[in-house]
Chain A
């Protein structure tokens, strides 16, 4: 896959990730009516693992996707030699995202014992971005 095509896919995935994180952040902060809901997301949301130092986790997810979004967009107009740096930046960001997502999914399954489909959707998105960028980096390394 050429970088142009990979970057297009990553860009769209980053937008999807941003939308999911944005939606979750909104429900964490504003849309929390005092109700009991029969969904895994609600169970996850009220668990002690849903915030990190008082900040809702979707906020950090949103920041990560915003970073990838900006990097991916920047790659469309910067010089060729700068694109390599952007690839590494996306690789690093999504790598952290995948690690955190694996840990959080582990928490959902084994500790909280509830699954939130939005969290899983997000994990799938970041994993796909990570695999795409890893393939790109691996390929260019071997081409060089």
Chain B
């Protein structure tokens, strides 16, 4: 059977399209995997757990309203406990605009941090995520949580909306964007990027290699 010229032309279109699509797929999957500079990842006033001078640093960019961050929390906690004294865990805020209560939650956690109880508040926020995410008045719930962990309520309320706390969260988001974050949780292990909920085994293997 002899093909008509139009049919041959269409086959040509198919081939050209295939080349373009394959090219696009290849170029998008070969992203650069370079290490991120530490000064962008770690700030002196960021909430931190562990030893200040440890060689291994885990930095999490998290959003308290993100279910995936909630899932990552126990993994990071387990790692932090297991390597206590040998690693440092840093929390950076990355509240996503799609999460309506995430920004105020970040501010509340920082306000608790002003009284040295960031991590206690952090645990409550993830633990009770289902409760406060749908609340139209999350501040009231956060005040309850603050009372529960024994914070000075006057100071907490004041800090919650303070410029200092807002600036800190904003700076974290800015830093996050400049290191190319577009989703949470994103974890950096000594500058190496992990997107999504990190697996315990994966982190453990990499940390062991870094420590030895």
Tell me, yes or no, whether A81 is within 8 Å of chain B by CB: no
Inter-chain contact total with CB atoms closer than 8 Å = 65
Tell me, yes or no, whether A15 is within 8 Å of chain B by CB: yes
Stretch with Cβ within 8 A of B (4 or more), from A32-40, A49-57, A96-104:
A32-40
- Of the candidates B14, B69, B195, the one whose C-beta lies within 8 Å of that of A15 is B14
Let me know if B6 and A4 touch, CB within 8 A: yes
Q: Give the B interface residue count (CB, 8 A).
A: 28
Let me know if B66 and A15 touch, CB within 8 A: no
Expressed in whole angstroms, the minimum distance between the Cβ of A19 and any Cβ of chain B is 6
- Of the candidates B14, B17, B98, the one whose C-beta lies within 8 Å of that of A114 is B98
Let me know if B195 and A33 touch, CB within 8 A: yes
Tell me, yes or no, whether B97 is within 8 Å of chain A by CB: yes
Task: Write out the residue numbers on chain B whose beta carbons fall within 8 Å of the beta carbon of A77.
Answer: 3-4, 6-7
Tell me, yes or no, whether A140 is within 8 Å of chain B by CB: no
Q: Give the residue name and chain of the A residue nearest to B186 (CB).
A: A35
Task: Write out the residue numbers on chain A whose beta carbons fall within 8 Å of the beta carbon of B46.
Answer: none
Q: Give the residue name and chain of the A residue nearest to B66 (CB).
A: A36
Let me know if B4 and A76 touch, CB within 8 A: yes
Query: How far apart are the CA atoms of A73 and B69 in the complex, in Å?
Result: 48
Tell me, yes or no, whether A12 is within 8 Å of chain B by CB: yes
20 extra interface residue pairs, beta carbon distance < 8 Å, beyond A11-B13, A19-B17, A38-B97: A4-B6, A33-B196, A33-B197, A34-B68, A34-B71, A35-B68, A35-B195, A35-B196, A36-B63, A36-B65, A37-B96, A37-B182, A38-B96, A38-B182, A76-B4, A76-B6, A76-B7, A76-B9, A76-B10, A77-B4
Q: Which residues of A are interface residues toward B (Cβ below 8 A)?
A: 4, 8, 11-12, 15, 19, 33-39, 42-43, 72-73, 76-77, 114
